[in-house]
Homo-oligomer: A and B are copies of this chain.
Amino acid sequence: METTNGALNRKLRMALAGGGQGSFIGRVHATAAILDNRAELVAGALSSNPEKAKASAPSYDIQPDRAYGSIDELVAAETKLSADRRIDFVTVATPNHTHFPIAKAAVEAGFNVICDKPMTFDMKEAEELQKLVEKSGVVFAVSHNYTGYPLVRQVRDMVLNGELGEVQAIRSNYIQGWLRTKLEDSDQKQAKWRTDPKQSGAAGCFGDIATHAYNLGRYMTGLLPDKVSCTLKTFEKGRPLDDYGVAVIQMENGGLMTVTASQVSHGRENDAFIEVDGTKGSIQWRQEEPNVLVVRQNGEPHKLYTRNGGPYLSGISTASSRLPSGHPEAFFEAFANIYRFAYDAMAARATGEKFETKNTIYPNVYDGVEGMYFIQQCVASSKEGGAWLPLKHASARK
């Protein structure tokens, strides 16, 4: 809760697309976006159903005249508003198949965007979106929120600083259990769209969570992939998309990455868990206990780095922290860290300063493209019986 938009000297104004009743991630975005008091939620297109969109507005404290029935309506109206009222950015928190048209409309109108992941419905949309963003010059972040955890950023800095030596192996897992039964046959909105190929895209589990695991490995290490062999499974009968899978990835430097994801592991909650092995050290981090990072070196005591634990941490890691160590931070705060660093860029853009677009602290449109490429190639590899397919995308950042 700190208005530190610097030279901009005012809060950023946010519009939310998605977030109507039954939404999970819309509420998360809305909470995270204002956690530091650097933004206010002033407009919304909360549902694809215009009536529901209006009805949902009060619970977000959005005034009726800015509760729009569609993204087009929103863009049209906000564009006409005076500069001191108009929104600065749109958060896209809808089911996957509508990410692209919403983001496109916002980007083309010159609004910054925070887009949920996977970034689009398919690869074609992703690459088009990349071009649109490059053309428009807006700030574009993708909410691979786990990269917002301070100790995840710590690992990224350790790799960059050479503290782990050359990275050779990554094991990134994301294990859940909530789709163990066919929850989609009930009224559960989350289960419904996430298992529907028309809304979710080519992959289920792999689009929803393996992308996070892959992104986490890429974000932490900067290691570029070469090719992937993937095996997807649908363990819950009658489900049209995968709910389990393993991808083996050859890295350009000769290293090996494994991505494992499950939505059908009984009682497992949201267990994103990653291990990275370098020639000089190894790390281990688990999303469900995010305030601790295990760092190891042969012959030394194992070390537990704690969030905001001291001067041994990197500047970015500490800057991603709000509380003293021992006062745990968690999911919302990590999510808010995506916003925090995107806001820096938005404020810079608004005041005409330069800002980084590729090697950003927050995941960006290039990471979004990579995520879509990962999904596309994994699904294709699995269909071809685990054939090795290329995985390095031209626009991938190191």
Contact = CB atoms under 8 A, between A and B. Distances in A.
B58 A30 contact: no
Interface string A278-318: 11111000011111000111111111111001111000000
Given A277-B265, A296-B177, A326 B288 contact: yes
Contacts of A255: 233, 235
Contacts of A295: 301
Interface in A173-193: 173, 175-178, 180-181
Interface stretch (A78-86, A88-96, A105-113, A329-337): A329-337
Interface string A24-49: 10011011001111000100000000
Q: Is the interface of A mostly helix, strand, loop or mixed?
A: loop
A267 B327 contact: no
Contacts of A11: 61
Interface stretch (A117-125, A268-276, A350-358): A268-276
A171 interface: yes
Contact of A267 (B290, B298, B386): B298
A160 interface: no
Interface stretch (A196-204, A215-223, A256-264, A359-367): A256-264
Copies of this protein in the complex: 4
A4 B244 CA distance: 38
Given A231-B248, A324-B269, A303 B303 contact: yes
A253 to B, nearest CB: 11
A168 interface: yes
B288 A291 contact: yes
Give the size range of A's interface with the partner.
35 or more
A289 B303 CA distance: 17
A353 B345 CA distance: 47
B306 A301 contact: yes
Given A3-B58, A330-B330, A171 B282 contact: no
A325 B24 CA distance: 13
Given A229-B386, A330-B328, A267 B296 contact: yes
Interface of A: 1-4, 11, 24, 27-28, 30-31, 34-37, 41, 58-61, 168-169, 171, 173, 175-178, 180-181, 229, 231, 233, 235, 244, 246, 248, 250, 254-256, 258, 260, 262, 264-271, 275, 277-282, 287-291, 295-306, 309-312, 322-333, 385-386, 388
